[in-house]
Structure 1
């Protein structure tokens, strides 16, 4: 294999970079013109190709933007300065994902349990990590497990990555293990009586949102309330959400939005869905995206914290009991 082939194989297209980093194609092009970074190569067709070292730098930039920095402050910085910022306390303290994940206004300092789980993750023993998580779920009950273990651990893993203590593959390993553990715990929750299993809830994300961990945490809380939950996975086209709502005779459509999406993407998706869904199907939204804390289309219910879901279910049942359901 010649050098040119090797170099091409180790570069990503602009679409792959968007998926990998969460930074949109248009944004990448604007940064290229405005800040001189990234600096993609071109293939024979003139399409952009991004070397892996630039993709890694873009990942750090995205973390810093999520932590409150502005593009003009960080995009043009060299990787050593970006790493120094990522390890600093300011970006950790201002991370927008913290409060919504657990329902607390501020995340506590990383606990001994979080440090213990991070140590297991660094050992790369996925099965041991999964068993330890399931033991905590059985010991604590799933509600406390989700809010007191999973939410702080998600935050701790993210911050460990920012401090340079975890590699990307280790973060991916954690995501896979925690999703398996949550699904196992959810499957162990007994289904309530038919009369108490409503609302029937569809759960998914919009096409630009690849993250499903928040959905699984919400499903755990809803299942504890006796809801029938149907997981449709991530990135479902909006038209298919409408078809699924009809096919499953859904009462509620639940969407999760991470900080990956721009505010306009959140607003547009919610407005279109609320306009096209039958009025009897409620639309609930949750997650860490800051747009959810702003004015949203009428008819969208925001659950600011996982612990709010029980109240949302109780409220739904009260209203529909009065209506004769």
Structure 2
């Protein structure tokens, strides 16, 4: 099969498969009689094995050795720690070009879901604004991440015509970077998304959903829900809304006793999984590349 067919079968962007082949020798094509590069069907299983290790946090540069061992061992944190340090050093010096380069390199090697889990969420935790001396770094990184992911979401949205998933910042924070991580994860899988960075009252949320014929709406907050929508109003909103309404973000930990366990969607990865369980068809497709 061609690299495009392999990409569709495995849910990995072609550019990532090419990097795995050329830089790391993880997959091996064969040549057709006309000299075309083709991939045997066994390579599907090979890619699945690669993804097993990557999703466990193993850096791509160590996967080949692990695949060739009977009893693989690896350092659990140092390779990803090194990548986080690379991004952190760029943030500390406010070097946007260096930050772009490091992120783009990681993006060429790993799926968005893995980058979110292993790189971006830990870095956001490291750069919590409330930590002493981290305010400038946090503001710089949040601004860069919002710009970077906003552009990618816009580009990924362009060819998508189906009804969107709506994402709304319902907290007091001016910017919720994890909301944009969720938008990126969804758009990367072919689900159209629309994002509002500012809270809306329930009647206008309903109006927006009706106008857009949205499949689902995610209300995201890092702190307590206050005006214009309190937690007590959430059930009423759900009953009146024609789409599924999910509450997500660290606010779910605050309301843990008032929410059922399946609604504890404290981070973008958990929210993404919950949206998958709603049966949105696009989220069962494969990751796409720009």
TM-score by length of 1: 0.53
Displacement of 1:193 in angstroms is: 6.8
- The residue number in structure 1 matching 2:178 is 214
* Partner SS, residue 230 of structure 2: helix
- The residue number in structure 1 matching 2:199 is 235
- Over 3 Å counting, the alpha-carbon distance change for 1:309 and 1:226 in structure 2 is farther
Equivalent-residue separation in structure 2 for 1:243 and 1:187 (angstroms): 23
> After superposition, what is the alpha-carbon deviation per residue over 1:75-100, rounded to whole angstroms, capped at 9, x for unaligned?
xxxxxxxxxxxxxxxxxxxxxxxxxx
Does the aligned pair in 2 maintain the 1:202–1:253 contact within 8 Å? yes
Unaligned runs of 5+ in 1: 1-103, 320-325
> After superposition, what is the alpha-carbon deviation per residue over 1:174-213, rounded to whole angstroms, capped at 9, x for unaligned?
111121222234345477875xx55x31111226343321
- The residue number in structure 1 matching 2:220 is 256
- The residue number in structure 2 matching 1:122 is 92
- The residue number in structure 2 matching 1:204 is 168
Unaligned runs of 5+ in 2: 1-56, 58-76, 282-290
Count of equivalent residues: 204
Equivalent-residue separation in structure 2 for 1:170 and 1:315 (angstroms): 36
Does the aligned pair in 2 maintain the 1:209–1:261 contact within 8 Å? no
Does the aligned pair in 2 maintain the 1:206–1:269 contact within 8 Å? no
> 2:235 aligned with 1:274, yes or no?
yes
TM-score by length of 2: 0.58
- Over 3 Å counting, the alpha-carbon distance change for 1:139 and 1:292 in structure 2 is farther
* Partner SS, residue 148 of structure 1: helix
> After superposition, what is the alpha-carbon deviation per residue over 1:237-284, rounded to whole angstroms, capped at 9, x for unaligned?
4332222112111221101121x336xx39962432431453422111
Displacement of 1:145 in angstroms is: 1.7
- The residue number in structure 2 matching 1:142 is 112
- Over 3 Å counting, the alpha-carbon distance change for 1:295 and 1:261 in structure 2 is closer
2:268 to 291, 301, 306: 306
- Over 3 Å counting, the alpha-carbon distance change for 1:294 and 1:225 in structure 2 is farther
- Over 3 Å counting, the alpha-carbon distance change for 1:153 and 1:243 in structure 2 is same
Does the aligned pair in 2 maintain the 1:207–1:236 contact within 8 Å? no
> 2:125 aligned with 1:155, yes or no?
yes
